[in-house]
């Protein structure tokens, strides 16, 4: 499109002292910049717009700039700054009785709370946003709130409940012709189906979301779909294609400065390398992911720690594996993620078994089984961690 080639010239306009033009340009450019993955350009533009709005005393423009900056910082993984911006925007929007912006700010706070493992607060923010959106007929806000609630239930292992919310969001998107929302809802459904072990359904939904993302030039959407396809193909035993999907996702993430997408791609690539017996490459990927996760904060460390634990178990270093699985378990506890707790217990059980510590192995497998039974699910993102596998391990210990 025209803007792809003229972006540098358009952004050069912000160097001039045209505050009125700047605040409008910031609002108009937000969706394009974030869809294309130009987060650094978006951050620069929205900061200038925020300054201009403050100088003009233009409170609605200030709200817009704060909301846009909050989204960019959430994508950057800077959750404290995202929370600060959304909180400021919420206060001003309430003073202005701008309920559409109130909905957007509440959803943004829900996103940051969810990412940080604060699921009760996230649920509260999404539910508030949903109620207001329904009261004022804000269909876009309604579908975003529904999608957010679905993600909360996904993180809590309530996958069927998550699917219900995501399906409601998808129907709302189709009704109002929101293709961007449709893309995200389909992707979210793919995530839930994959977690339930319904890999054919997941693969179909990921492919649909990938096609929509490529049609619209939505780079973050394309990145998410590729990572999802990589994880699904790994579960189906297609290790080489999984590595290819994650490699392409990693390239897109690095080009767009999408650090969370980069982290997910690195962990996925590490798992694919491990499945292919490429231990050194797997080590490099998971270690890079762990380093990045520590910079981001939140609950991002779990996958890297769990991946390193699996790797050290395979290469015959159970003592090192044990340390990583213990750290993974603590991370899952800290961020209140029961499914990840079950996965970490499974990793610990396998490691203890390798160390001929049968009593400890039994204890951790039983704990993993209790968690999954309590959630009413049979499968997890870890292919190894499933109720049939755990029961088989416990039966072997009994013999």
Partners of 386 in the β-ladder: 379
Cβ atoms of residues 384 and 393 within 8 Å? no
Phi and psi torsions of 18, nearest 5°:
-125, 75
- pLDDT-based confidence at residue 20 (cuts at 50, 70, 90): low
- Whether 306 has a pLDDT exceeding 50, the answer reads yes
Domains 2-289 and 298-399 share a fold: yes
pTM exceeds 0.85 for this model? no
Write down the domain spans for the chain. 2-289, 298-399
Q: What is the mean pLDDT of residues 202-224?
A: 94
pLDDT at res. 117: 82
Q: What is the mean pLDDT of residues 349-367?
A: 97
CA atoms of 364 and 370, how far apart (whole Å): 10
pLDDT at res. 2: 44
311-334 pLDDT per residue, tens: 999 999 999 999 999 999 999 999
- pLDDT-based confidence at residue 74 (cuts at 50, 70, 90): confident
- Whether 343 has a pLDDT exceeding 50, the answer reads yes
Of residues 57 and 299, more confidence is placed in 299
| Cα 247-252-257 angle, rounded to 5 deg | 125
- pLDDT-based confidence at residue 396 (cuts at 50, 70, 90): very high
Q: Which CATH architecture has domain 298-399?
A: Alpha Horseshoe (1.25)
- Whether 29 has a pLDDT exceeding 70, the answer reads no
pLDDT at res. 279: 98
Residues near 330 by Cβ (< 8 Å), separated by ≥ 6?
Answer: none
User: What is the SS3 assignment for 52-98?
Assistant: HHHHHCCHHHHHHHHHHHHHHHHHHCCHHHHHHHHHHHHHHHHHHCC
| Cα 336-341-342 angle, rounded to 5 deg | 140
Pick the CATH number of 2-289 from 3.40.50.880, 3.40.50.150, 3.40.50.1260, 1.25.40.10: 1.25.40.10
pLDDT at res. 75: 78
| Cα 203-208-211 angle, rounded to 5 deg | 125
Least-confidence region, from 181-185, 207-211, 257-261, 284-288: 257-261
| Cα 291-297-300 angle, rounded to 5 deg | 70
Mean of the per-residue pLDDT values of the chain: 89
What is the full DSSP assignment across 13-64? GGGSS-HHHHHHHHHHHHHHHHHTT-HHHHHHHHHHHHHHHHHHT-HHHHHH
Q: What is the mean pLDDT of residues 175-192?
A: 92
pLDDT at res. 47: 65
């Amino acid at each position: 499109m025209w803007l792809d080639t003229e972006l540098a010239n358009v952004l050069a306009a912000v160097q001039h002292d045209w505050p009125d033009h700047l605040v409008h340009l910031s609002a108009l450019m937000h969706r394009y910049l974030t869809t294309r993955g130009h987060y650094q350009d978006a951050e620069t533009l929205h900061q200038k717009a925020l300054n201009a709005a403050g100088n003009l005393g233009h409170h609605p423009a200030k709200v817009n700039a704060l909301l846009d900056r909050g989204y960019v910082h959430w994508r950057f993984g800077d959750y404290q700054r995202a929370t600060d911006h959304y909180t400021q925007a919420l206060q001003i929007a309430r003073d202005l009785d701008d309920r559409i912006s109130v909905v957007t700010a509440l959803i943004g706070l829900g996103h940051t709370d969810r990412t940080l493992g604060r699921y009760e607060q996230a649920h509260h923010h999404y539910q508030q946003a949903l109620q207001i959106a329904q009261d004022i007929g804000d269909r876009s806000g309604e579908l975003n709130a529904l999608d957010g609630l679905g993600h909360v239930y996904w993180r809590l292992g309530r996958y069927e409940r998550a699917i219900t919310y995501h399906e409601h969001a998808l129907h709302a998107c189709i009704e109002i012709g929101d293709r961007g929302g449709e893309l995200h809802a389909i992707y979210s459904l793919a995530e839930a189906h994959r977690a339930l072990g319904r890999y054919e359904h997941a693969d179909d939904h990921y492919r649909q979301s990938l096609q929509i993302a490529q049609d619209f030039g939505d780079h973050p959407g394309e990145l998410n779909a590729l990572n999802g396809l990589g994880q699904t193909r790994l579960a189906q035993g297609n290790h080489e294609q999984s590595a290819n999907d994650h490699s392409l996702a990693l390239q897109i993430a690095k080009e767009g400065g999408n650090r969370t997408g980069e982290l997910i791609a690195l962990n996925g690539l590490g798992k694919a390398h491990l499945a292919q017996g490429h231990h050194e490459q797997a080590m490099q990927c998971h270690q890079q992911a762990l380093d990045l996760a520590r910079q981001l904060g939140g609950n991002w460390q779990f996958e890297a720690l769990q991946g390193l634990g699996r790797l050290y178990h395979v290469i015959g270093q159970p003592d090192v594996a044990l340390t990583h699985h213990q750290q993974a378990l603590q991370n899952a506890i800290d961020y209140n993620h029961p499914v990840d707790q079950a996965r970490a217990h499974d990793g610990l059980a396998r490691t203890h078994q390798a160390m001929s510590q049968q009593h400890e192995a039994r204890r951790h497998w039983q704990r993993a089984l209790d968690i999954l039974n309590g959630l009413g699910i049979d499968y997890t993102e870890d292919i190894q961690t499933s109720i049939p596998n755990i029961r088989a391990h416990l039966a072997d210990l009994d013999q």
